[in-house]
């Protein structure tokens, strides 16, 4: 096989395969959101208890991202992805066999582990395939998560109405295992001997934020937790929120799908932006816009306004999480890329899981989501403070066009 060239046609083929894998494997994050009201009703559970399934999914997703990131840095993306696929398929089947709420919740931890390699490690891997279009490549791979959020919620809702949530989970497990294995075999053929790369000749980081790698990692983790607590409120609870307002779960699933569809646009657009102004400035733009969108949820709750706000929220916040992966690649050594991205994404999914759970608890305590939206706004402000601080530390050297 000839030597691989970054930004080549071969790189774009790999990117397309990675996007497909992420779009299929990202189902777990959205299946739990759609079935949560039905599971809550079946087991006569509180909203907070039912939300724990999403919390455990996100914790598994984050911890698995660190583990599969280390595997990717050492052995390549194919072995890491192979492990994830096996765990994902088995876990979906086990959910279909669960007969108590706590079994359902516990197995969603495994689904999170199985989903993990489709996000942070795959973003880090794609960043090595490109130089000129690195930001765009990372956000395209990250868009797989939102493509999943666009396609899967209506399908899961349809399956749940037709055959129940248990059989739907089993069918998803079989489908994901078969299709993702096939795509992984094709990706393996495209990667070939380049599977484990030598980072000794990699260029140094593009920007210096005058912080150690560990200190920067900690700050990025705190920033990602705070923005994702804010992000989780609409993403995790929009389906249940619509049910509470009397619009029905199906309307909520449609809003979630719409949110994710516009999130794809946002993610790809943020990639173009990051290749011109850098990851930190792109993160600042996304965080400001996300806070603006959250304000609208506080003041409007008609059916039409919720569709419009959900579309706006997706358009504004979609590029936030991939920006962290871009910042890692701009400011940290390439040899640690998948591991460091995995750590920061773990922090972001901890924020999502905590935010999803605490929003349910706030709802149980107040009988309303108004306080939960306000809580999200407060966390968003913390994110803006950290990002602005980092921008001042790196001023004058962050534009990469």
CB 264 within 8 A of CB 315: no
pLDDT in tens, the chain (401 residues): 456 788 888 899 999 999 999 999 999 888 988 888 888 888 888 877 887 888 888 889 889 989 998 898 888 899 999 999 999 999 999 999 998 999 999 999 999 999 999 988 898 888 889 988 888 898 899 888 878 888 898 899 899 999 999 999 999 999 999 999 999 999 999 886 565 555 555 566 677 788 888 999 999 999 999 999 999 888 878 888 888 888 887 888 788 888 888 888 888 898 889 888 888 999 999 999 999 988 898 888 889 999 999 999 988 888 898 899 889 888 888 778 788 888 998 898 788 878 888 888 898 888 888 888 899 999 999 999 999 999 888 775 554 44
If one counts every other C-beta atom within 10 angstroms of the C-beta of residue 182, the result is 12
Which candidate, 134, 119, 333, 107, places its Cα nearest to that of 217?
333
CA 292 – CA 277 distance, rounded (Å) = 22
Whether the predicted model's global pTM rises above the 0.85 cut: no
State the CATH number of the domain containing residue 316: 1.20.1250.20
- Rounded CA-CA distance 25/142 in Å is 12
Tell whether 211 is covered by a domain: yes
- CA distance linking residue 29 with residue 52, whole number of Å: 13
Structural domain includes residue 321: yes
What single-letter DSSP state applies at residue 2? P
Judge whether 307 lies within some domain. Answer: yes
The Cα 87–Cα 104 span in angstroms is 16
- Domain membership of residue 218 (yes or no) is yes
Report the pLDDT value the prediction gives residue 5, as an integer from 0 to 100. 82
> Does the residue 400 lie in any domain?
no
String of DSSP letters for 193-240: GGSS--GGGPPPPS---SS-HHHHHHHHHHHHHHHHHHHHHHHHHHHH
Does residue 4 lie within any of the structural domains? no
Length reported for the chain: 401
Tokens of 79: 């072995």
Chain-centroid distance of CA 259 in Å reads 13
What's the sign of the alpha-carbon dihedral 188, 318, 209, 353?
negative
Assign residue 382 a region: left if phi > 0, alpha if psi is -120 to 50, beta otherwise? alpha
Domain region containing 44:
9-193+205-393
At residue 201, the pLDDT reads: 54
Using the CB atoms, write b or e for 283-296: b if 16+ within 10 Å: bbbbbebbbebbeb
Q: Among 118, 158, 145, which Cα is nearest to 34's?
A: 158
**Among 177, 191, 263, CA closest to 17:** 191
Overall domain count for the chain: 1
The verdict on residue 242 lying in a domain is yes
Question: What does the DSSP 8-state code read for residue 302?
Answer: S
pLDDT at residue 339 in the model: 86
Q: Does 370 reside within a domain? A: yes
Q: Which two tokens stand for residue 328?
A: 């890692």
**Location of structure tokens 């299946």:** 31
Cα distance between residue 148 and residue 141, in whole Å: 12
b/e map 34-61, b = 16+ CB within 10 Å: bbbbbbbeeeebebbbbbbbbbbbbbbb
Rounded distance, CA 67 to CA 120, Å? 11
Predicted local confidence at residue 227, as pLDDT: 92
Distance of alpha carbon 315 from the chain centroid: 15
């Amino acid at each position: 096989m000839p030597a691989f060239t970054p930004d080549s046609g071969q790189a774009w083929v790999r990117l397309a395969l990675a996007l497909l894998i992420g779009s299929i494997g990202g189902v777990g994050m959205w299946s739990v959101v759609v079935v949560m009201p039905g599971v809550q009703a079946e087991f006569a559970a509180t909203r907070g208890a039912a939300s724990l399934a999403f919390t455990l999914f996100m914790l598994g997703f984050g911890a698995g991202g660190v583990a599969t990131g280390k595997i990717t840095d050492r052995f390549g993306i194919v072995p890491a992805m192979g492990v994830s696929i096996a765990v994902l398929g088995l876990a979906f089947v086990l959910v279909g066999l669960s007969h108590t709420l706590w079994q359902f919740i516990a197995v969603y931890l495994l689904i999170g582990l199985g989903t993990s390699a489709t996000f942070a490690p795959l973003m880090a891997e794609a960043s090595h395939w490109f130089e000129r279009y690195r930001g765009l490549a990372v956000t395209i791979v990250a868009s797989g998560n939102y493509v999943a959020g666009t396609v899967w919620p209506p399908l899961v809702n349809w399956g749940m109405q037709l055959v129940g949530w248990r059989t739907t989970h089993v069918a998803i497990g079989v489908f994901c295992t078969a299709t993702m294995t096939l795509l992984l075999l094709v990706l393996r053929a495209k990667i070939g001997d380049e599977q484990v790369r030598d980072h000794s000749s990699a260029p140094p980081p593009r920007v210096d934020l005058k912080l150690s790698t560990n200190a920067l990692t900690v700050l990025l983790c705190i920033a990602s937790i705070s923005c994702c607590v804010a992000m989780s409120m609409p993403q995790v609870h929009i389906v249940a929120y619509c049910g509470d307002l009397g619009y029905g779960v199906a309307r909520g699933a449609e809003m979630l799908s719409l949110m994710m569809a516009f999130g794809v646009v946002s993610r790809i657009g943020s990639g173009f932006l990051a290749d011109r102004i850098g990851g930190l400035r792109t993160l600042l733009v996304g965080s400001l816009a996300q806070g603006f969108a959250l304000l609208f949820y506080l003041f409007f709750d008609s059916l039409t306004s919720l569709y419009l706000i959900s579309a706006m929220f997706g358009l504004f916040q979609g590029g936030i999480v991939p920006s962290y992966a871009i910042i890692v690649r701009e400011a940290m050594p390439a040899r640690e890329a998948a591991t460091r991205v995995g750590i920061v994404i773990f922090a972001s999914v901890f924020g999502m899981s905590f935010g999803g759970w605490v929003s349910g608890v706030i709802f149980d305590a107040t009988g309303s989501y108004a306080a939960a939206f306000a809580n999200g706004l407060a966390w968003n402000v913390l994110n803006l403070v950290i990002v602005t601080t980092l921008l001042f530390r790196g001023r004058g050297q962050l534009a990469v066009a």
